[in-house]
Chains A and B, each alone.
Chain A
Amino acid sequence: MADTAVVEKKRTISFGKKERKLLTDPINDDNPITVQVLGICSALAVTTGMKNALVMAIAVIFVCIFSNAITSMFRKSIPKQVRMIVQLIIIASLVTIVELVLKAYAFESYKQLSVFIGLIITNCIVMGRLEAFAMANRPYESALDGLGNGIGYGIILIIVAFFREFFGKGEIYGAKIIGASAEYAINTTESTLFGWYQSNNLMVLFPSAMFVIAILIWAHRAWNPKLVDVS
């Protein structure tokens, strides 16, 4: 008993090849969005601007890490019959914490994300990782797995948001880059780079998120052919 405890302790602080794989796999080969097709639901609606996407990504990373770690900590004492509900309660309370904190310290984002914060609960990434990983692994590795998946998800979110914001509003992270400085330029003649550029309103609307992700998947699979669907 004492021996295993020592071994566990020693292993806990290591960060070797296996741990690195836990982190990097979800970013490329096992990306939650483009490969596992998890967690598309709540996120795409918030990718109209990079600021919201960043807040959402951070929130999901936080929830992923802690729900994975907490579930893994209690994995032996959680009764099998009510496993789902217990996991959901853990996730729901973490999401509530996120909501309360955002409401206090990032009110604008809180207003804009509105119900989509709550929808992190049913973000399949969180639930999926709990079932697939945290219920069978130690807290430290589970936390790493959560971090990796959260980052993999966040990266896609920010890439999508970048394209939608840049072409839809001519902005990057809220700063005007291309196009006339006011959207419809009625009373103003001042313009920035490429003043002739007319913002493409479609990119702000919802179908564009689907197109951007489809193209991302296409590019990702063309570059990494082992991911191509057989069907």
Chain B
Amino acid sequence: MELVNIFIKSAFIENLALSYFLGMCSYLAVSKTVKTAFGLGLAVIFVLGITMPINWLINTVLLSENGIFGTDLTFLRFILFIAVIASMVQLVEMVVEKYSPALYNSLGIFLPLITVNCAILGGSLFMVSKEYNFTESVAFGLGGGFGWFLAIVAIAAIREKIKYSNVPPALRGLGMAFLLTGLMGMAFMGLMGIDPAAF
């Protein structure tokens, strides 16, 4: 049940996009239509789900004081995490291209964007600071990815509609997207009262 709890928490209450502002750059840039937002969201779930357990292994096996080197190497954490993310994204891109051209056509263009999506690195860093174990980190990765997916698809849907509204010129586009994100953040705050014991 602990795992469900972590999933729910990371997807809704500690939503990476709406409560930590992670991945905001691509969130704002790629949320003009639902279709592209959907593709990017899926790619994020995918990459978070893969990199989280790998980074967990790196952190516990290689870097921690009880790891195979026996010394505290945590100062290399940033470099290794980002290297893992960059190479995983590349690897996923190659594999998807080879075995599922259809999926590649819908996800492909988004994959390079994901390396610099803070939600991915942020997820790994949060995992370390929260001291999750292996299975918990998988649940956290999937939950975090799902939450991010929800957020970007929702804002894209709203932005598609708001195009037809009469917004003051200076607020059009970017400004409105920020306001909407803020309102969505407030709506998600309403979920904060959820009792994790209920799951």
**Residues of A participating in the B interface, judged by any CB pair closer than 8 Å:** 34, 37-45, 84-85, 88-89, 91-93, 95-96, 99-100, 114-115, 118-119, 121-124, 127, 205-211, 213-214, 217-219, 221-222, 225, 228-229, 231
Contact = CB atoms under 8 A, between A and B. Distances in A.
29 contacts: A41-B24, A42-B122, A44-B24, A88-B82, A88-B83, A88-B86, A89-B83, A92-B78, A92-B81, A92-B83, A100-B75, A114-B129, A115-B125, A115-B126, A118-B121, A118-B122, A119-B118, A119-B121, A119-B125, A206-B189, A207-B183, A207-B185, A210-B178, A210-B179, A210-B182, A211-B179, A214-B179, A218-B170, A221-B169
Given A37-B174, A41-B21, A209-B21, A118 B125 contact: yes
Contacts of B23: 41
A190 B4 CA distance: 47
Contacts of B117: 122
Given A208-B182, A229-B174, 20 more contacts: A37-B28, A38-B25, A41-B25, A84-B115, A85-B86, A89-B79, A92-B81, A100-B75, A122-B118, A122-B121, A207-B189, A210-B185, A213-B178, A217-B175, A219-B170, A222-B170, A225-B170, A228-B172, A231-B163, A231-B172
Contacts of A208: 182
B78 A217 contact: no
Contacts of A211: 178-179, 182
Contacts of B137: none
Would you list the 4 A-B pairs with minimal beta carbon distance, nearest first?
A: A210-B182, A229-B173, A207-B185, A214-B178
Contact of A41 (B22, B76, B172, B189): B22
A40 B175 contact: no
Interface residues of B, number: 50
Contacts of A206: 18-21, 185, 189
Contact of A40 (B25, B172, B186): B25
A33 B173 CA distance: 14
B24 to A, nearest CB: 4
B116 interface: yes
Given A40-B25, A206-B21, A92 B79 contact: yes
B175 A218 contact: yes
B171 interface: yes
Contacts of B189: 205-207
B59 interface: no
A231 B173 contact: yes
Contacts of A124: 25, 116
Contacts of B182: 207-211, 214
A123 B119 CA distance: 11
B2 to A, nearest CB: 22
A130 B185 CA distance: 32
Given A42-B118, A121-B78, A221 B25 contact: no
Contact of B175 (A84, A93, A205, A214): A214
B66 interface: no
A96 B79 contact: yes
Contacts of B75: 96, 99-100
Contacts of A95: 78
Contacts of B129: 114-115
B181 interface: yes
